[in-house]
Every structure is written in structure tokens, then in C-alpha cells.
Structure 1
Amino acid sequence: MQRNIEDRLGFLGQFSAVSRVEIRAQVGGTLTAIHFKDGDIVHKGDVLFEIDPEPYQIKLSEATAQLESANAKLALATRELSRAQQLQQADAGTVENVDQRVADQHAAQAAVDAAQALVRDAKFDLDHCRIVAPLTGRIGNHLVSTGNLVAGSRAATSPTTLLATLVSMDPVYLDFDMSEGDYMAFQRAREMAGGDVASKVDISLSDETRFTHRGTLDFVDNELNRASGTIHARAIVPNSDLLLTPGGFARVRLAVSTPRPVLLVPDAAVLADQSDHIVLVDGPNDVATPKQVQLGDLRGGLRVIRAGLAPTDRVIIDGIPSVRPGSKIAPHAGTIHATSDQG
């Protein structure tokens, strides 16, 4: 039978998360609550951990009191400046007095700005007593139990306590390595097709015999690894059902040509002839005639014939063990069955 197929390369790949986050506190204190079960799917913004907020509530109250005091001093300085300006206009005050009151008002305003910053700083710490999920994904096991004292740091300038890890699940990456030969075939195919090929990736999981998943090649590294002679590549794969797990392995099939017509025959119809391969065809006078062929890979349970057969050849597919080259045959029409090309 004749079908349109594309050349493919096969690799072994491993899934990895697009994003992996270590959950750490930005403030220190006693851990008072954990709001997830180990292994849960959590959503961005969900509260994961709570740290005792009381010390930070006290800090916020102190900062708020300082702000109120600074506002009162600013109001007094503003009134005194207004009186000094009125006296100057009535020739009862000096320029120096007005300048002093202006400086006092500016100082009071600066004190208000500093107090407002302290309030924002205290509010930041208080807000971060509740640690939320930065992205949607699957969370690992909690590494600290409630009641323990955890260390936090806003910019990680000091050691912090690792609370849990969170990985994104949809989509996921599939990482694999290409040999130098496969990479050159990939590059040649991409060059000939103007970059339109070698982007579709078919995937078969460890418990599957068919390539039932599909991804898109989105990255090829910029140099070959000198030690292994391979180059790293990566596909991105949708995972809406969360079946694919970071760390798992899968077979990868990468298309490196545009579809073209080829002949396919049942693999059982291909016979070994020393170092070559032959198929038997219905020759003149219904005589079994051998034809040497060049084989390709298996597609849908059928063997690709790259060369040696013509579309008009009638290949013998039944009774192969009893048919010998040169023997007389009684030909009849048969049917070649192919499974899905995802197989």
C-alpha cells in the first residue's frame, strides 16, 4: 500500500516542570498553620502557610502611632508658618522667622514621609505572615510542622527556612538529547523546508505502545556537549489532565521531513537474504519473483520500503513460509491492514 509519511527521529526524553518554586518565608516567626495536604494541586493566591502575626501587628501599631505624631507636628509647623507669614505681611515679623518656620515645616513633612514608610514596611511584614502560592501547580510535602520557628528574609540575604516546593503542571517540558548525526539530519531538514518541519513531537509514555500525546519543539541548545557528543532539546507538552509528571520518562518521535508518498508492506512479507532484504512479487506467468528492497522503519505495523519496489508491483503477503522464489503461485487479492500512524 502507498501512504504519505514523514521521516522521524526517535529519542528517550524526561519530563520536567516549566516552573519550580521553593516556598520560603519573607518574615520569621512561629509557624501556626498549614493550609494544604501534601501533594495537593494548589492555585495561585491560595494561602499555604501562616506565621504568628502578633509581633508584626505590634510593629504596625508602633509605626501607626509614629505617623500620627508626625502628622500632628506637621499640622503645628504649618500653622506656625502661616502665623509667621501673616506677621511678616503686617511688618511685625522678620524674614528669618519665616525661613525658620518653612524649614520646620519641611522637616515635619519629612518626618511624616518617614513614618508613612515605616507603616508600609510594617504592613508588608504583617501581610507576608500569610504565605501564598505564587503559581498554580502541585505542591510537595511540607518540610516544617506547625509550632516550629522559621527564618525569613525579604531578599534572601540571610539563611531562610525551606517550607515546601511547588511545581507547575500544565504545560510541562519534555527534555531529550540528540546525537550529532541526528542533529545534523534535523538541521538539514529544517534548512530544506525553511523551518516548517521538526516542530511536531509525538510522545509515548512508559506504559504505552502508541504515540498518543503530542507536543511542540520549542528549544534547541546553542552548542554540542563535548563530553557526550549530544545537544540538548526541549518540547513543551499540554497536560490539562495532569497525567504527565515531572521526572517521568517517555519516548519521543520528532518529524524531520515533510510528508511524502512511500510504499508499505507487512513486516512478515520482508525476507532476509544474507545481508540484504527481499520481498516476493507476482512476476510474469504468476511466478514468485524476488526483489531486493531497502527498508525503512515500522509505521502503523507496516514496514516502509524506501527503494526497490514500484507502486504497480503485486507483493505476496500470504503463505510466505511455503512460497519459494521461482515457484508457481495462484495470486488473489489480499488486504493490508495498518494501525493508526500514532502507533
Structure 2
Amino acid sequence: MNKIYTPAIFLLFSLLSCKKETPPTPPPLEVPIVRVLQQDVKLESEFTGQTYGQSDIQINPRVDGVILSLNFKEGGLVHKGQLLYTIDPLPFHNKVTEAEGRLAEMQARLAKTKSDYEMMEPLVKTNAISQREFIGAKAAYNASQASINAATANVRNSKIELSYCNIVAPISGLIGISKVRVGDYVRPGPASVLNTVSDLGDVRVRFTMSEQEFLRIFREMSKKDSDLKSEAKSISILLSDGTPYPETGKISFADRQIDPATGAVTFEASFANPQQLIRPGQYVKIHVVTDIHKDAIIIPQRSVIEMQGITQVYVLGANNKVEMKEVKLGPAFKDSYIVTDGLTASDKIALGGTSQLKSGNIIAPQTKEWAPGKAIN
């Protein structure tokens, strides 16, 4: 019986083995491919800056007294010469009255001494009076004239102090929240600030730059053929919510010295502010062009593979075969890198993103369009 089944089993296995087929070759891996770009690249440095009005003028009292009235809307626009605060003028009216009374007294004295002097002048010539009496009358007349000058100045000063009871806007602009209210007592002094008026037609932005960065930019701009001379003067800003400010500014000046405490130099730039979107005290991001690379080779950052400090990319070759190639990278530009060595403008590279891609693979390239800072389609 075993002899009967053995040939049959052998025949069955033979038939099964004949049905096995070679597995089909998997299709080439689809990999997104981009072209290496060559273009001029303007590299920007970012700094933190603070905004100021074109003019930020503090309102200080010039006489002491009680605030009687506030004659403006806080946070609103005021015009040059507009009445802002009124200080109780009664004490200063009294001073004016006293000064005017003193002046009248001096004028009466002047009239008497003048009359005495003029009366004695012909008498001294005939020796009707002594020379001593005449000299005394002349001295009294001169003293009265000097007293008139002093009294007149006192009246003028008293009237000026009275005028300081009406505090007016020194410029047209936006006024802030008042630091005093009706009934508060104020006095002159740098610490006694009533309010601040800001001219927001233009705004100023101050920011600091490290000494090393300043020296590098200065040396680059000093070159005869430097393209940075015009570019570095034009700057842009980002607001606190990350949106770009629509107006472009220009650097007005740099401070005369490097701050020894921070090792930085302060710059100031001016911006137009037609919509008064920027207010004093805001913090913004300053973008300044600090370097220019002509005809730079740039590639997307996501195409770069870094292993043990070596940066590489997959380069598409003949017959859709990719080979890994080492490259040297320069500074970053938006979401790309500047390549200083290893690629040419005619190269095409893989975006990567898959561990299945290996050097020597034959792929199905999927060409993508890209530009720095824009999503790859």
C-alpha cells in the first residue's frame, strides 16, 4: 500500500511546485523632485525695537497751584495752542495787582525826584543851593528810574506767571491719559508730569545692534562696489501679532558710541504713520538687510539630510537614478539654505521625507515648483 501512495504524493508536489511564479517587480518609488534655484539673496537680520512718536512732549506745570479744569478728551487729538489745563489763577492775579501797585508807587516817586532834580539844576548854577544837595537830588532821580525798571520787570514777570495758569498744547498730536484730576495740587519740577502729547505723523523706532554685527556691516558697506549701501538703509518691521507693517522705513542715525554696558550700538529709524496704527511704546521686530549673495544656489531645507555633522542631498541623475551627494551649506534664507559647494544651478534634488529612498534607487520623479518662503505645490 505504501508503494501505491508514494508515487502519487510525489506527483502532487511536482504539480504544486510548477504553479509557483516569480513575484512582480515593485513600481519605482514616487519621490517629489525640485530644481535647484540660482538667484540673488538678500539676507535680513532681526532686531527688537521700541516705537516713539515723531515728537513726544511732556506737559509740565510751570507754576504751582490747584487744577481747576481739564479741557481736552483723553486719548484724543489736540491742536497746537489748545487749552489743556487750568490752574487756579487767583494768587497770580493778586501778584499782578501788587506788582502794578508797586510800579505806580515807583512812577510817583520818579515824578517827584525828577521835579526836585529839574528844580535844583538852575539853582546850583547860581549857588543858591549847595553842590551836595544837587548831587543828592540827582542820585534820588537815578534811583527812581532804576526802581521803575525793576517794578516794570516785576509786573511783566507776574503777568507771565499768570499766563502759565493756562497750560496749552505745545504741538498738535495725540494726548494721553491725564496724570492729575481737578482739585489736585501741582508744582513745577521734572517729576511733575501732567500728560504727554505725541506727534504721530511719523514715528521713530529705536533698536540695538551688537558691536560685531555693526563692524561687519560697516566693513561691507565701505567696499567700493557694495550693494549693501542702499539696501541697509531701508528697513521693515513686523508688528506684535506677526503681521508686516505696510510702510518701509529708513535709518535716521546711529548713536555716537558703543554702549560699554551692553556692547551694542543704538539705531533709530523713521516710518510714515498715515493711519496712526503705530503708537509710542510698542515693541516690534526690525528686519534689516545685512548681507547680499549674488547668484546664490539655494535649496529647500527639507531636502537636506544631516548625519554626524555631514549634510547631504539626493541628486537626480540619468535614468531617474538618485545618488546621495555631500553639500556645504551657508546661511539660512526663509525656509531654504544657501549652498556654497556641491551643487550647480542645473541640478535637481529629491525632497526626501521617506526612509525607503536609498542612494542608487530608480525613482518615479514628481516635479514640484517651489520658491523660498512659499509652500511647495
Match of 1:193 in 2: 221
Shift of 1:127: 0.4
Shift of 1:223: 3.2
Work out the CA distance in 2 between the residues paired with 1:128 and 1:59. 13
Q: Is the 8 A contact 2:211 2:265 kept in 1?
A: no
Offset from partner CA, 1:45-81 (integer Å, 9 cap, x none): 3321011223322321221232233223223323332
More displaced stretch, 57-66 vs 14-23: 14-23
Task: Give the letter aligned to residue 298 of structure 1.
Answer: F
The change in CA–CA distance for 1:186 and 1:279 in structure 2 (over 3 A counts) is: farther
Match of 1:10 in 2: 46
Shift of 1:162: 4.3
Q: Does 1:214 align with 2:244?
A: no
Match of 1:326 in 2: 360
Secondary structure at the counterpart of residue 256 of structure 1: strand
Match of 2:121 in 1: 85
Q: Is the 8 A contact 1:203 1:215 kept in 2?
A: no
Offset from partner CA, 1:131-157 (integer Å, 9 cap, x none): 1233444332223322x141323xx39
Work out the CA distance in 1 between the residues paired with 2:347 and 2:363. 12
In the superposition, the TM-score normalised over structure 1's length comes to 0.78
Task: Give the letter aligned to residue 326 of structure 1.
Answer: G
Q: Is the 8 A contact 2:296 2:338 kept in 1?
A: yes
Q: Does 1:237 align with 2:273?
A: no
Work out the CA distance in 2 between the residues paired with 1:338 and 1:191. 28
Q: Does 1:308 align with 2:336?
A: no
Offset from partner CA, 1:93-136 (integer Å, 9 cap, x none): 54333322221111111110111121012111110001123344
Match of 1:57 in 2: 93
The change in CA–CA distance for 1:223 and 1:29 in structure 2 (over 3 A counts) is: closer
Of the candidates 152, 164, 168, which is equivalent to residue 128 of structure 1? Answer: 164
Q: Is the 8 A contact 1:175 1:232 kept in 2?
A: no
Task: Give the letter aligned to residue 115 of structure 1.
Answer: A
RMSD of equivalent CA atoms: 3.5
Work out the CA distance in 2 between the residues paired with 1:86 and 1:330. 128
Work out the CA distance in 2 between the residues paired with 1:219 and 1:27. 38
The change in CA–CA distance for 1:88 and 1:317 in structure 2 (over 3 A counts) is: farther
Secondary structure at the counterpart of residue 345 of structure 2: coil
Offset from partner CA, 1:215-256 (integer Å, 9 cap, x none): 42633552343xxx6535333332423222233222222333
Work out the CA distance in 2 between the residues paired with 1:93 and 1:317. 122
Q: Is the 8 A contact 1:28 1:149 kept in 2?
A: no
Work out the CA distance in 2 between the residues paired with 1:235 and 1:306. 34
Structure 2 counterparts to residues 1-343 of structure 1, below 5 A: 1-16=37-52, 20-89=56-125, 92-146=128-182, 148-153=183-188, 156=189, 162-178=193-209, 182-194=210-222, 196=229, 198-210=232-244, 212=246, 213-216=248-251, 218-220=253-255, 221-225=257-261, 231=264, 233-240=266-273, 241-258=275-292, 260-268=294-302, 270-274=303-307, 275-284=309-318, 287-291=321-325, 292-299=327-334, 303-308=336-341, 310-316=343-349, 325-328=359-362, 335-337=369-371
Q: Is the 8 A contact 1:138 1:168 kept in 2?
A: yes
In the superposition, the TM-score normalised over structure 2's length comes to 0.72
Q: Which runs of 5+ in 1 are unaligned?
A: none
Secondary structure at the counterpart of residue 71 of structure 1: helix
In our comparison, the structure showing a higher alpha carbon Rg is 2
Q: Which runs of 5+ in 2 are unaligned?
A: 1-36, 224-228
Between the two proteins, the alignment pairs up a number of residues equal to 326
Match of 2:7 in 1: none
Work out the CA distance in 2 between the residues paired with 1:337 and 1:281. 18
